[in-house]
Amino acid sequence: MNTMLTTSQQKTICSQRGRVKLQLLYKASIHGFTGAAFHEQCDTRCPTVSVGYNASGYVFGGYTTQPFSQSGEFVRDDLAFLFTFSGEKLLKYPVTSPANAVKMMGNCGPYFGEALVFFNGSNVVHSNPGNHYNFNAAEMHGNDLNLTECEVYQVEGEYTIKKTPWRTINWESEKKNELMESIKIYKPTVSSVTHARVLLIGPVGAGKSSFFNSINSVFRGHVTGQAIAGCSTTSVTTQFHTYPVKAGREGTPLPITLCDTMGLEESMGAGLDIDDISSILKGHLPDRYQFNPSAPLLSEASGYRKSPELKDKIHCVVYVIDACKVSIMATKLEEKLNAIRRKVNLMGIPQLVMLTKVDEACPLVTENVRNVYKSGYIKEMMQEISARLGVQVSCVVPVKNYTEALELDPDCDILLLSAVIQMLRFADNCFDEMSDQFSSIEVK
């Protein structure tokens, strides 16, 4: 669909909301001058800009942050405003009664208070200044109330909600039980291995330890905190620690072991030593090994495994990244992560990226975790970290850890469990690769 708003007019409107762009959702000349057609294209979308055009050359409309619906109720919006163009200049009329900013009527187009209503069974505008918005009718539309066109744009930028999720996920309550059961019955494809070992690597404060606590909480049935986690400028975790997860308080260990490491830090000689990574991946590092950022692990260290078996090695590496800090990640930290990734690549170990704190990064997800795959901002963050670390977007999974809540949330559980499922699937890829290598050796 071609837009009637000029590029200059679009930039002027966008300047009111910061770094955003307009995406055309609805065009009356194509979809129809009816409420039904408008709602079919625009319901649940927000924020939006509605624009009317008349034969007198006026371009005018309204902005709202609230998603359109057909509830018949007024919706509060402190940021709503009406506008008109005087040449290239935007004249803006803020809402005077925020509680009555927008009315969600099913039989007409965009309905701003009782002041400006776009078509109701025809292409005529209802205009009544003073009812929740103050404007001069002659200034706004020249008293020409017959529309030649009407368009509605979605304002896309930092916090945009998509009409349909860009990645499919089942939020039904039964799905949680299904995921838990799949994890319980999982068996590595290599008979000598009983547990998939997953290494968590990430900057200080990204949420590695919190992830273990969150997974443990899901299987315990209540929020718990076995692993030490907290807020600090230096790593709270100082040891290499393996965490088996149990299927309940008295349950048997699950077939996955989460391996926690010291957090990465920007400066040299601080945080996890990159030279220790190879030893961890190969299975040399003993549990509870005390990290020394200024010196790598030596083979003389207590508990050092000189001949680790496949069951001792790492089968999947997960980079844990704070969604709030993707765009401001320090160059030195990114360089450390990429140096680690190259080591992991050489060993052929599958890698995932886990994006934590998605609720803190986007208010739409704070409001409802189910918006995680409808959030334009979260998608952008996933794409950005994908490009920075050189992994496919399909290898990036978002989660919300239990860091504040005292009770479990089924939607958070589903995201967390889905991440574990991906880890097990990637571990299977590692086992398949190992099996192929063994088969090749036997043939020779």
- pLDDT tens digits for range 50-77: 999 999 999 999 999 899 999 999 999 9
- Quick check: helix, strand or coil at residue 287? coil
How far is Cα 271 from Cα 336, in angstroms, rounded to an integer? 11
Gap between the Cα atoms of 250 and 227, Å rounded: 18
**Same domain, residue pair 200 and 75:** no
Task: Report pLDDT for 292.
Answer: 61
pLDDT digits (tens, 9 = 90+) for 171-225: 998 999 999 999 999 999 888 899 999 999 988 889 998 999 999 999 999 998 7
Which residue range(s) make up the domain with 28? 7-156
Rounded Cα distance between 20 and 23, Å, is 10
Record the tokens describing residue 184, joined without a space: 């319980």
Share of the chain above pLDDT 70, in %: 89
CA distance 197 to 258: 6
In a domain, 94, yes or no: yes
Does 395 fall in a domain? yes
Q: Is 338 helix (H, G, I), strand (E, B) or coil?
A: helix
pTM above 0.75, yes or no: no
- Going by the DSSP 8-state scheme, the letter that residue 98 receives in this structure is G
| Structure confidence by residue, pLDDT tens digits, 237-292 | 567 788 888 888 777 889 999 988 877 876 665 556 677 788 889 888 777 767 66
- pLDDT attached to residue 444: 42
Which of 353-384 are b and which e, b meaning 16 or more Cβ less than 10 Å from the residue's Cβ? Answer: bbbbbbbebbebbeeebebbbbbbbbbbbbeb
- Do residues 41 and 25 make contact, with C-beta atoms less than 8 angstroms apart? yes
Of 156, 185, 205, which marks where a domain is finished? 156
The reported pLDDT for the residue numbered 294 is 55
Asked if residue 165 is part of any domain, the answer here is no
What Cα–Cα distance (Å) separates residue 437 from each residue in 112, 423, 432, 443? 67, 21, 9, 10
Specify whether 281 is located in the same domain as 212.
yes
pLDDT, position 440: 44
Residue 184, in any domain of the structure: yes
Residues facing 135 on adjacent strands: none
- Asked if the structure places residue 68 within a domain, the reply is yes
Residue 409 shares a structural domain with residue 326: yes
Reply yes or no on whether the pLDDT at 147 is more than 70. Answer: yes
Q: Where are the alpha helices (DSSP H) in 283-409?
A: 331-347, 358-361, 363-367, 376-389
Residues 304 and 357 both lie in one domain: yes
Contact 190, 431 (CB under 8 A): yes
Distance CA 94, CA 105 (A): 21
Residue ending a domain, choose from 124, 156, 188: 156
How far is 166 from 377, CA to CA, in rounded Å? Answer: 12
For the packed helices 410-443 and 173-184, what is the interaxial angle rounded to 10 degrees? 30
* Summary mean pLDDT of the chain: 87
Contacts of 331 (CB under 8 A, 6+ apart): none
Phi, then psi, of 250 in degrees rounded to 5: -110, 10
Contacts of 250-255 spanning 24+ positions with Cβ under 8 A: 251/219, 253/195, 254/183, 254/184, 254/186, 254/219, 255/183, 255/184, 255/186, 255/187, 255/188, 255/194, 255/195, 255/196, 255/424
Question: Are residue 86 and residue 185 in the same domain, yes or no?
Answer: no
Please give the single-letter amino acid code of residue 286. P
Contacts of residue 2, defined as CB under 8 A and 6 or more positions apart, other chains included, come to: none
Q: Tell me, yes or no, whether 162 lies in a domain.
A: no
Give the total number of structural domains in the chain: 2
Does 2 map to a domain? no
Look at residue 3 and give its three-state secondary structure.
coil
> How is residue 132 written in tokens?
């929740």
Question: Do residues 364 and 236 share a domain?
Answer: yes
Q: Are residues 391 and 251 in the same domain?
A: yes
| Burial call 82-107: b when 16+ CB within 10 Å, e when fewer | bbbbeeeebeebebeebebbbbbbee
Cα-Cα-Cα-Cα dihedral sign, residues 361, 393, 234, 261:
positive
Do both 63 and 182 map to the same domain?
no
CATH of the domain at 293: 3.40.50.300
**The two three-digit tokens of residue 90, written as one number:** 């935007």
Q: Does the residue 166 lie in any domain?
A: no
Q: For the ranges 156-165, 242-251, 289-298, 406-415, which has the lowest average pLDDT?
A: 289-298
Residue 299 Cα to chain centre, angstroms: 41
Last residue of a domain, one of 156, 189, 209: 156
Q: Are residues 195 and 331 in the same domain?
A: yes
Regarding whether 249 and 179 lie in a shared domain, the answer is yes
Same domain (yes/no): 140, 22: yes
Residues 79 and 32 both lie in one domain: yes
Structure tokens at 360: 């803190």
